[in-house]
């Protein structure tokens, strides 16, 4: 068993509760972590024995292009798609960071983390 992590994927997207956020856009970062068995990939050097990083990135990039109001909703949409890549995924976690959220004060970023299986119960 091992972990696949894609960290610091950067996007400019149009998510937000307020209409102004969905018009102006903002900078986002996304981290994904998957717990998967590595026995075939580590012994046979075969991509079929793991989850393809490019597929993970493409899912995140596609979901980031579709504006939503809440990062919690976006995180679940991303995980739903990633979990379809392999039945072997034991655990998964996606974190989405929003730079300078509109909260009326100084804040470097807001962050939402959704986990499988915990948030799928």
Residue 74 CA to residue 45 CA, distance in Å, equals 33
Size of the chain, expressed as the number of residues it contains: 121
Answer whether the bond into residue 117 is a cis peptide, omega within 30°. Answer: yes
CA distance 44 to 25: 44
Q: 2-13 and 109-116: which strand pairing?
A: unpaired
Q: Give catalytic residues, as residue numbers.
A: 98
- Are residues 6 and 56 in contact, defined by beta-carbon separation less than 8 angstroms? yes
């Amino acid at each position: 068993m091992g972990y696949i992590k894609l960290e610091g994927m950067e996007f400019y997207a149009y998510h937000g509760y307020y209409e102004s956020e969905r018009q102006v856009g903002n900078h986002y970062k996304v981290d994904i972590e998957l717990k998967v068995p590595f026995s075939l990939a580590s012994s046979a050097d075969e991509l079929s024995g793991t989850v393809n990083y490019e597929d993970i990135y493409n899912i995140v990039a596609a979901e980031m292009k579709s504006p939503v109001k809440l990062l919690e909703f976006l995180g679940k949409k991303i995980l739903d798609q990633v979990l379809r890549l392999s039945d072997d995924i034991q655990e998964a976690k996606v974190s989405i960071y929003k730079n300078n959220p509109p909260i009326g004060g100084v804040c470097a970023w807001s962050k939402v983390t959704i986990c499988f299986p915990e948030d799928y119960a």
